[in-house]
Chain A
Amino acid sequence: MKKNIFLIFFLLLIYACEKKVDWPLKGPQKDLIVVDGIIVDEQKVQTIKIRHSVNKLNEIPVPVTGAVVNISDEDSTYILSEYPANSGNYNTNKYFIAKVGKHYSLLIYYNNKVYSAKTYMVPGYQFRQLEYTKDAGDDNYHISSVAYPYNTVKPAMWEILLDWSHVPGYNIADSLKNKARIIDYSLSTLDVNELFAPSCESVSFPSGTIITERRYSLTTEHVEFLRAMLSETNWNGGLFDSSPANVPTNLSQGAIGFFGACSVTTISLTVL
């Protein structure tokens, strides 16, 4: 990425040094309900994940089980059931398709508290497929460009699914190691920490990889959530960080996370 070039220069010039440390967290521990759910305009089982927050880095979150969860639009209410049991994953019971232009409400009843969120779906758009280029040192490839990161009119989230588990030479290994899922964004805002973001892990894949590129439409509120989340994650840890703060949410009653509704457009291609 272009934006990382300056950072690399600085690292070289000023002997910037990044080290692993033990840094005990300070402050009161919190146990918050976290909602991770996006419903889309595709005919499939839609899932809302509900977990507890964690108090340590890399700690496995405890699922929120036994909650009553439903999604409603202007016309209907859809009951979600937890499956697998005790997983904290709540799925629609039938094939459910969210629709562009509709408002949706999420209601969670858990431990005598009601958590709710509202969202809206804006239309999706066709898009130009991503670009990939060959790695410098081998015959593999990497993604060089997904979309222009600044788009005031049509902001979007991009989910890129890579699968090379069928490629000869790779199909005997652990299938998860031959797949990747990358998220990228086109947001309606520009930020200094975005321009000077730290380096990202580079994902290499061989010729023959099948790429599924999915564009998610975003509401303004969803953009604000994602921008704040990126500021605390992907854009954090460079030399131009912004002041840290909690990521906003559209959940009520102290729950965190985001409930969104996105129109999805998909392209598939094979790396040749």
Chain B
Amino acid sequence: MAWLKSKFPCSNLRFFLFALLFFISTTSHPQDLSKKITLKLKNCSLADVLNEISKLGKINFSYSPQVIPVDKILTVKVKDETIKEILDDILIKNEIDYNIIENQVVLTLHSDIAKNDLLPKDTLNNSKNRFSLYGYVKDRSTGEILIGAIVYIKETNLGTATNSYGFYSLTLPGGNYEIAISFIGYKIDYQNIKLKKNIQKSFELEVLDVELNEVNISPLDYETNIMTNQLSNMKFTTRVLAQLPGFVGDVDIIRSLEVVPGINAYGDGSSLFYVRGGNSDQNLILIDEAPIFNPSHLFGFFTVLAPDAVKDVAIYKGDFPSNYGGRLSSVIDIKSKEGNMRDFGFAGSLSPFTSNLSFEGPIIKDKCSFFISGRRSNLEWLKLTNIFSNSLALVFYDLNSKINYKLNDNNRFFLSFYTGMDDFSRATSANDSYGIAWNNLVGTMRWSHIFNNKLFSNTTFYSSDYNYFLYISKSLNDYWKSSISNATLKSDFIYYLNLKNTIKSGFEIGKHFSNPGNVHFSDTYNQSHAPQISKYYSWEYDFYLNNEQEITKKLSARYGFRIPVWQDIGPTTIFRFNDNYEVIDTIHFKNNFVYSTFVRLEPRINVKYSLSANSSIKASFNRTTQFIQLLTNSTSPFTSLDVWAPSGPNIKPQIANQFALGYFSRIFKTKLFFSIETYYKKFENAVDYKDHANMLYNPLIEGELRFGKAWSYGTELMIRKNDGKLTGWLGYTYSRSFKQINGVNNNHTFPAFYDRPHNVSLNLAYYTEKYWSFSLNWFLISGATITTPVGFYYYNGGSVPIYADKNNDRLPLYHRLDLSITYKFKNPGKRFQQNLTFTLYNAYNHENIISVNFNKISKDSNQYVVPSNLLESNGLVPTTISVIGIMPSLSYNFKF
């Protein structure tokens, strides 16, 4: 210990390091206090004594050196005594309790002292003597806040989780408490707190090092879903994301959602996903609180945000907290990294398809940091120019940056920015090209403020802008363009009334704009003859209030509401339709004239009953309203020419009511967590389309829509293991989704095309102690519904299909295995880390069909084309299309 003392004169730090080293070296040993040992130590510190017992008895101690008097000098002389006898002697004499928790002998101060040394007994339950412990939970190495970390009070069996901004607050009677702070992928931190006044304290957690075979001994992580009221959600931390096999080398945030029970991804190569019977435009994807309207790159083969930039992803499939609104089916809340407050660092990766590079560091140490990351496609090696003779450009990129400034303990500022772009163009001459392009531009400014020990606020201004271009001639600047954008100011307040009540409230004011698609011609004649499609302007106001209350020790509830108000304003032109969807009136509204207003009340209720420390049941009801919708009758798995339109005189707001019931449990005393959730969801004003709706560049697009109801129900089961060398989960979902739309399918009920009753997903990750880690995903999903012909007829030389019921048929079963193997290069003692990752997408090359066609003929070498020569009697053949067979990829990743 001498070297330790010399290097770290501060005793607290020294003992912390001692405890840390001790902890690291012995965590895997079983605890056997019946073992007999011999000890002969004279004038040694308690720490040295514990160290010696640990060595001889091969047991592990866990304690806070700030609480336990480890400097106390002892003399111990025992021969062939059990460890229990020795501990009883030396610890109890020194008023130290010990308990065996998992594989640890956890030391705490004697409980009588802990409870009585500060305040008289009669004041313990006196509300006048309650104090708050509040602050942030952070990553020790980077200083970044941790979202969803648990702060748990052992004495009360109560705890709280840090909010989306890493903040927590607990109000307790004065006294001494042992607090456990834990977070998945981090070492649990035990702290003893003497609470005799309000204390602002930030805790810092250290990342678990799986290579050192560290495991998190806390049972709390497994119980997170049991303890909290939240239903229907799942979190992807960076650690979970890192263990998912990526697509061609990249971990893809949006595509990774397909492993979550209750979420049906469209399939290979698609970024579209459907949650609990909702359409794909009913998913709210937030990057640092700002919405992203199209998260795809390369039509969906990749999605936005480089994985290096992502810090945390929270997925809500239902039971939406009141602070979320605007979409019916899910919220994907992505928080980007804030930047290391203490050290500079960089990271990157190189794969055949993309290159990533990120850079972070302090601008002012422990006060201001930055993070910047970029990703660009690497498709040039395909040598597309040679293949297609004319130059073909396919490029996409992401740029993400964030600045995090801590003004003082009570005020923090964040500025984040994201932009991404896709550009696919083909040269038609030396100076001209045509093609398609889209871009997202998102910015967020945020101010987090602690008013006092009980009141926390977060004020955000964000804007999001999404544009889609179909270029006819780039040199002439002739194009079709659709857009959607918004700018919103919002404030959220969290009031920690007491340990049993947390009140959240907030408001939002936002302005929305959408252009459902107009053309721009450089030629004035063409421009003057082009149809003009009305653009839309709207205001949105939201207010929410809810309370999370512990009613009894076992019963808790979260109840509240959200009130969204939507107003459409001029200038615009609105068409009125009769019952046959014929235009009967055209109304022009002038600037800022409010021509339609919707006010909705969204109750949000949730109840949790704890059956035991390891199991709970929860129920929830919530209503959500959606005021903007993506108008498309495409059945394609890929995004294309997006057109968004708001609710208004012709489009009523869509509403969803969802009931959910869940049971959450730890399986006996294992590290396995089990959950089952069942839900029923009903949609009002569900949008569908008339047969062969004309959705592109149509001034009367609202007349192409049809409305009705939809409903879905299902049960989701999951077994999950969060900790240890082998982690992952197995999920199974049974779900159904139906629609009944006036004017579609003869008004009869039909299954939605994302109705896929069975869904099995398996995710496993295994870390070896040294160089290797392995992960896999496996999916088995019912095929999507499709509409296939029941007959044909001939017209003008061609064969035309005849249909009966909508979605009368189903694609074959979808299944796929993805594998990933990572080799980590050893570089002991160095910050520079590097690894090679080999991924195999669709490892057994299963052809997952996305469509069936009946209109093609076979040509040379099994090419199938639509016949042109109508004089030839070529036999048509049914064909199926599948995308992405086996796709190997090797990527090099590095981090400093």
Residues on A lying within 8 angstroms of B by beta carbon are 2, 5-6, 8-10, 12-23, 25-30, 32, 34, 36, 38, 51, 53-59, 61, 152-153, 176, 179-183, 189-193, 195-203, 224, 227-229, 231-234, 236-237, 239-248, 256-258
Q: Nearest-CB distance from A168 to chain B (Å)?
A: 21
Q: Once bound together, how far apart are the Cα atoms of A243 and B706, in whole Å? A: 14
- Given A8-B388, A9-B392, A241 and B790 contact (CB-CB distance below 8 Å): no
Q: Once bound together, how far apart are the Cα atoms of A192 and B881, in whole Å? A: 18
Q: List 22 A-B contacts (CB under 8 A).
A: A14-B884, A15-B887, A16-B884, A20-B877, A20-B878, A25-B791, A26-B809, A57-B878, A189-B697, A191-B695, A192-B632, A192-B640, A197-B866, A198-B866, A232-B800, A233-B800, A234-B855, A237-B881, A240-B638, A241-B634, A242-B692, A242-B695
User: Within residues 840 to 896 of chain B, which ones have a CB less than 8 A from any CB in chain A?
Assistant: 847, 850-859, 862-872, 874-885, 887
* Residue of B869, B877, B879, B887 touching A201 (CB-CB under 8 A): B869
Q: Are B794 and A6 in contact (CB under 8 A)?
A: no
Q: Are A15 and B885 in contact (CB under 8 A)?
A: yes
B301 surroundings in chain A (CB, below 8 A): 13-14
Q: Are B856 and A198 in contact (CB under 8 A)?
A: yes
Q: Once bound together, how far apart are the Cα atoms of A190 and B533, in whole Å? A: 14
Q: Are A55 and B870 in contact (CB under 8 A)?
A: no
The bracket for how many chain B residues form the interface is 35 or more
Closest chain B residue, CB of each to CB of A257: B795
B882 surroundings in chain A (CB, below 8 A): 16-17, 19
Q: Are A242 and B795 in contact (CB under 8 A)?
A: no
The tally of CB-CB contacts under 8 A between chains A and B is: 269
Q: Are B793 and A6 in contact (CB under 8 A)?
A: no
* Residue of B692, B852, B870, B877 touching A181 (CB-CB under 8 A): B870
Q: Once bound together, how far apart are the Cα atoms of A200 and B793, in whole Å? A: 20
* Residue of A28, A197, A258 touching B795 (CB-CB under 8 A): A258
Q: Are A180 and B392 in contact (CB under 8 A)?
A: no
A180 surroundings in chain B (CB, below 8 A): 868-869, 871-872
* Proximity bits, B807-850, A CB within 8 Å = 1, else 0: 01100000000000000000000000000000000000001001
Q: Nearest-CB distance from B762 to chain A (Å)?
A: 24
Closest chain A residue, CB of each to CB of B809: A26
Q: Are B798 and A30 in contact (CB under 8 A)?
A: no
Q: Which of B856, B859, B866, B882 has the most CB of A within 10 A?
A: B866
Q: Nearest-CB distance from A139 to chain B (Å)?
A: 19
A243 surroundings in chain B (CB, below 8 A): 633-635, 689, 693, 753, 787
Q: Are B384 and A59 in contact (CB under 8 A)?
A: no
Q: Are B636 and A240 in contact (CB under 8 A)?
A: yes
User: Within residues 15 to 68 of chain B, which ones have a CB less than 8 A from any CB in chain A?
Assistant: none
Q: Are B531 and A19 in contact (CB under 8 A)?
A: no
Q: Are B793 and A23 in contact (CB under 8 A)?
A: no
B855 surroundings in chain A (CB, below 8 A): 232-234, 236-237
Q: Are B879 and A20 in contact (CB under 8 A)?
A: yes
Q: Is B508 an interface residue (CB 8 A)?
A: no
Q: Is B691 an interface residue (CB 8 A)?
A: yes
Q: Are A9 and B384 in contact (CB under 8 A)?
A: yes
Closest chain B residue, CB of each to CB of A182: B868
Q: Are B866 and A237 in contact (CB under 8 A)?
A: yes
B269 surroundings in chain A (CB, below 8 A): 14
* Proximity bits, B694-706, A CB within 8 Å = 1, else 0: 1111100000000
Q: Nearest-CB distance from B807 to chain A (Å)?
A: 9
Q: Nearest-CB distance from B754 to chain A (Å)?
A: 13
Q: Is B796 an interface residue (CB 8 A)?
A: yes
* Residue of B692, B797, B862, B878 touching A23 (CB-CB under 8 A): B878
A20 surroundings in chain B (CB, below 8 A): 858, 862, 864, 877-879
Closest chain B residue, CB of each to CB of A22: B878
Q: Are B790 and A30 in contact (CB under 8 A)?
A: yes
A257 surroundings in chain B (CB, below 8 A): 793, 795
Q: Once bound together, how far apart are the Cα atoms of A84 and B670, in whole Å? A: 83
Q: Once bound together, how far apart are the Cα atoms of A181 and B878, in whole Å? A: 23
A258 surroundings in chain B (CB, below 8 A): 795
- Given A28-B804, A57-B878, A241 and B866 contact (CB-CB distance below 8 Å): no
State the 7 A-B residue pairs at the shortest beta-carbon distance, nearest first: A245-B691, A237-B853, A27-B790, A27-B804, A34-B793, A23-B878, A228-B692
Q: Is B387 an interface residue (CB 8 A)?
A: yes
- Given A36-B795, A200-B865, A237-B866, A189 and B877 contact (CB-CB distance below 8 Å): no
Closest chain A residue, CB of each to CB of B810: A26
Q: Are A195 and B797 in contact (CB under 8 A)?
A: no
A55 surroundings in chain B (CB, below 8 A): 790-792
- Given A15-B887, A36-B795, A202-B868, A5 and B801 contact (CB-CB distance below 8 Å): no
Q: Are A30 and B792 in contact (CB under 8 A)?
A: no
Q: Are A54 and B801 in contact (CB under 8 A)?
A: no
Q: Are A229 and B795 in contact (CB under 8 A)?
A: yes
A245 surroundings in chain B (CB, below 8 A): 691-692, 787, 803, 806
Q: Nearest-CB distance from A113 to chain B (Å)?
A: 17
Closest chain A residue, CB of each to CB of B436: A6
- Given A53-B793, A195-B470, A246 and B802 contact (CB-CB distance below 8 Å): yes
* Proximity bits, B366-405, A CB within 8 Å = 1, else 0: 0000000000000100101001100010100000000000
Q: Are B851 and A241 in contact (CB under 8 A)?
A: yes
Q: Once bound together, how far apart are the Cα atoms of A54 and B790, in whole Å? A: 9
10 additional A-B pairs beyond A30-B791, A198-B866, A201-B866, beta carbons within 8 Å, are A9-B394, A12-B387, A14-B884, A19-B847, A19-B862, A183-B797, A232-B800, A233-B799, A245-B803, A246-B802
Q: Once bound together, how far apart are the Cα atoms of A204 and B856, in whole Å? A: 18
Q: Are A32 and B793 in contact (CB under 8 A)?
A: yes
Q: Once bound together, how far apart are the Cα atoms of A20 and B854, in whole Å? A: 10
User: Within residues 771 to 806 of chain B, which ones have a CB less than 8 A from any CB in chain A?
Assistant: 786-806
Q: Are A18 and B879 in contact (CB under 8 A)?
A: yes
B884 surroundings in chain A (CB, below 8 A): 14-16
Q: Are B866 and A183 in contact (CB under 8 A)?
A: no
Q: Is B434 an interface residue (CB 8 A)?
A: yes
A8 surroundings in chain B (CB, below 8 A): 388
- Given A2-B426, A30-B791, A59-B792, A19 and B879 contact (CB-CB distance below 8 Å): yes
Q: Are B865 and A236 in contact (CB under 8 A)?
A: no
- Given A17-B881, A54-B791, A240-B640, A201 and B694 contact (CB-CB distance below 8 Å): no
A239 surroundings in chain B (CB, below 8 A): 636-638, 850, 881, 883
Q: Once bound together, how far apart are the Cα atoms of A27 and B864, in whole Å? A: 26
B753 surroundings in chain A (CB, below 8 A): 243
